Amino acid sequence: MKKWIAAGLLAASLAACNVTITLPSSVIVVDGSAVSAGPIDEGQSTRFSFLVGASPVRLDVTDLTNGAAGSLRLRVYDANDVLYAQTVSRYYFTAPYPEVVSVGVGALGITASPIYSINLPANFGRGTLEVTNLDVNPTSVQVAAVSRAALPYSAGDPAAPQGFSATSTGALIYLGQTDAWKYEGSSGATLELLGGEIVHATAKVTRGLDTLVRLEPGEQYVGLEPGDIVYVQAQGNGALAGFCNTLAGCADGTTSGEYTLAVTP
């Protein structure tokens, strides 16, 4: 009771002085100024709210104090406060689904780096970012939200596949993402799935209603024909996603989510 009275008297006193009380580091504005928070003790968390509209967004968190320790955990919650994604390392992140366990992703295994990121698809809506310090030493963080261009093969519409006739590269950068490609070469070819090992990309080649083959990274399919559709996603129904840095619109700084559909006559 005494604490409540003291808090009330303080608020009244500040109101009389025309002072506005603002919770620090509470809101991230997309493409706005970065927000800082801390110090955050071991095991403690700080939360930030954000809004993702018509453009995809990348949330970037910089460990200002213990950058080399690799000891932050990022968790994103949706508008209903349901856990949507969490960091696994600097190189990729995961949805907290049971099937993730089946692909061997058990521990966080954060890679030492001062910057951690999570990509969110367009129209994600309102959400909350929770940053937890896992290091024994207190740390401070800086958080920013950056809008990013939607990649043509990542438009979220498998019914409108991207055409390709030669070797092409894509990237799985959103949880649950399925990239759709339509082979438009003039003759048959051999298709090989390269890269995407960290997010464990898989490719499915279809012709009409038939699935012809499923490819793991490094595997080939001899018999690709014009009109065949190739779907690429992460193993586990898109439970993993990563980053890219060699494609237009990708400036994450790693290539964990990138894959290549290699085509040879």
Structure tokens at 229: 């559709």
For residues 258 and 166, the answer to whether their CB atoms sit within 8 Å is no
The amino acid that residue 251 corresponds to is A
Domain spans, the chain = 23-147, 154-264
Give the model confidence (pLDDT) of 92-104 as tens digits. Answer: 899 886 655 555 5
Question: Hey, do 23-147 and 154-264 end up sharing a CATH topology, with the first three levels equal?
Answer: yes
pLDDT of amino acid 150: 77
Assess whether pLDDT exceeds 60 at residue 161. yes
For residues 131 and 221, the answer to whether their CB atoms sit within 8 Å is no
Assess whether pLDDT exceeds 60 at residue 15. no
Higher pLDDT, 89 or 103: 89
Residue written as tokens 């958080």?
A: 143
Q: 115: exposed, middle or buried (C-beta count within 10 Å: 0-12, 13-18, 19+)? A: middle
Element (H, E) at 206: strand 201-207
Query: According to the CATH classification, is domain 154-264 in 2.60.120.380?
Result: yes
Instruction: Tell me how many degrees the CA angle 219-243-133 measures, rounded to the nearest 5.
Output: 125
pLDDT of amino acid 191: 97
pLDDT of amino acid 205: 97
Q: Report how many helices (DSSP H) and strands (DSSP E) the chain contains, helices first.
A: 3, 19
| Average predicted confidence (pLDDT) for the chain | 83
pLDDT above 90 covers what percent of the chain?
Answer: 55
The amino acid that residue 14 corresponds to is L
Q: How far is CA 236 from the centre of its chain?
A: 15
pTM over 0.75: yes
Structure tokens at 42: 């071991």
Pairwise CA distance, residues 145 & 51, whole Å: 9
Higher pLDDT, 11 or 184: 184
For residues 224 and 189, the answer to whether their CB atoms sit within 8 Å is yes
CATH of the domain spanning 23-147, picked from 1.10.3210.10, 2.60.120.380, 1.20.120.450, 2.40.50.140: 2.60.120.380
Give the model confidence (pLDDT) of 211-238 as tens digits. Answer: 999 999 999 999 999 999 999 999 877 7
